[in-house]
């Protein structure tokens, strides 16, 4: 079953402390790295263990000396434990400039490899326990050194598998292992009633909601039916009366 972001909670985020939600291989020794090259887009499937907003992802990724071309990271929906095509299942993307990746000649010791953090909070991606999504790394680069590599840790992650695509994430074949990552989650998600994100619920939040409604912002589709109409105001009044957690 395909997972997706829950649109209503994109209205705001009443943030709580981020927590480590899932990870693979980060506390143990790296045993290899797989190159992210033009014919080898990599993805690893993650099973969500905490309700909340996906805030950021740490990748166990590095480059060989002289490597060129940036890395594009996607959060992608899944079907049957497999990443969906990026063209139809991409939920959010961010770019890692190649110069910001740590440089090692060969496979670095796990305790010497700085993690590369990818901020995905602007995607406002809400997931519930048991939902799956994929973290995908795409790069145009030669199939020979210098490389950008994504580490494989041990033991293998039990919540999903690694996947390889020969065509920039449009079709996938199972790799069998899993790649080193860590996800951070704003536990409990957001407070949809606090539209202006000032920490208080009052008439200003209704003014805020009216403003995004008039602007045609999809965030005003409170009942998530694909249309903006009076039912969205009824929906918003209901969540306002429920208040914030």
- The per-residue pLDDT for range 39-82, each reduced to its tens digit, is 999 999 999 988 888 989 999 999 999 999 999 999 999 999 99
- pLDDT higher than 50, residue 4: no
pLDDT attached to residue 2: 29
pLDDT tens for 145-181 read 999 999 987 767 889 999 999 999 999 999 878 899 9
pLDDT attached to residue 139: 97
pLDDT tens for 232-242 read 899 999 888 88
Domain range 10-187, CATH architecture:
Sandwich (2.60)
What gap in Å lies between CA 72 and CA 1, rounded to an integer? Answer: 25
DSSP 168: T
DSSP 30: -
Q: Tell me the average pLDDT across 194-219.
A: 86
C-alpha 150: how far from chain center: 16
**Percent residues over pLDDT 90 in the chain:** 53
Reported pTM: 0.71
DSSP 12: -
Provide the residue ranges of all domains of the chain, joining segments of one domain with +: 10-187, 203-242
What gap in Å lies between CA 101 and CA 71, rounded to an integer? Answer: 9
- Record the tokens describing residue 5, joined without a space: 């972001």
Among all chains, which residue has been given the structure tokens 């109409």? Answer: 229
pLDDT tens for 81-93 read 999 999 999 999 9
Residue-level length of the chain: 245
Element (H, E) at 240: helix 230-242
What gap in Å lies between CA 101 and CA 29, rounded to an integer? Answer: 19
pLDDT attached to residue 11: 26
């Amino acid at each position: 079953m395909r997972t997706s972001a829950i649109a209503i909670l994109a209205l705001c985020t009443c943030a709580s402390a981020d927590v480590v939600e899932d990870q693979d291989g980060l506390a143990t020794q790296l045993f290899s790295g797989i190159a992210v090259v033009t014919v080898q887009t990599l993805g690893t499937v993650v099973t969500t263990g905490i309700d909340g907003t996906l805030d950021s992802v740490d990748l166990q990724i590095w480059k060989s000396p002289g490597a060129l071309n940036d890395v594009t990271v996607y959060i992608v929906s899944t079907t049957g434990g497999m990443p969906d095509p990026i063209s139809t299942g991409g939920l959010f993307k961010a770019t890692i400039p190649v110069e910001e990746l740590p440089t090692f000649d060969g496979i670095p010791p796990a305790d010497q490899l700085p993690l590369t953090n990818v901020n995905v909070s602007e995607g406002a991606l809400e997931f519930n326990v048991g939902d799956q999504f994929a973290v995908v790394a795409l790069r145009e680069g030669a199939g020979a050194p210098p490389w950008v590599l994504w580490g494989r840790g041990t033991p293998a992650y039990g919540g999903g598998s690694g996947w390889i695509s020969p065509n920039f994430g449009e079709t996938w074949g199972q790799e069998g292992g899993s790649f080193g990552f860590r996800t951070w989650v704003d536990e409990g998600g957001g407070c949809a009633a606090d539209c202006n994100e000032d920490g208080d619920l009052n008439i200003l939040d209704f003014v805020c909601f009216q403003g995004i409604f008039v602007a045609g912002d999809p965030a005003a589709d409170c009942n998530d039916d694909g249309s903006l109409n009076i039912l969205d105001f009824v929906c918003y009044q209901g969540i306002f009366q429920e208040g914030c957690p």
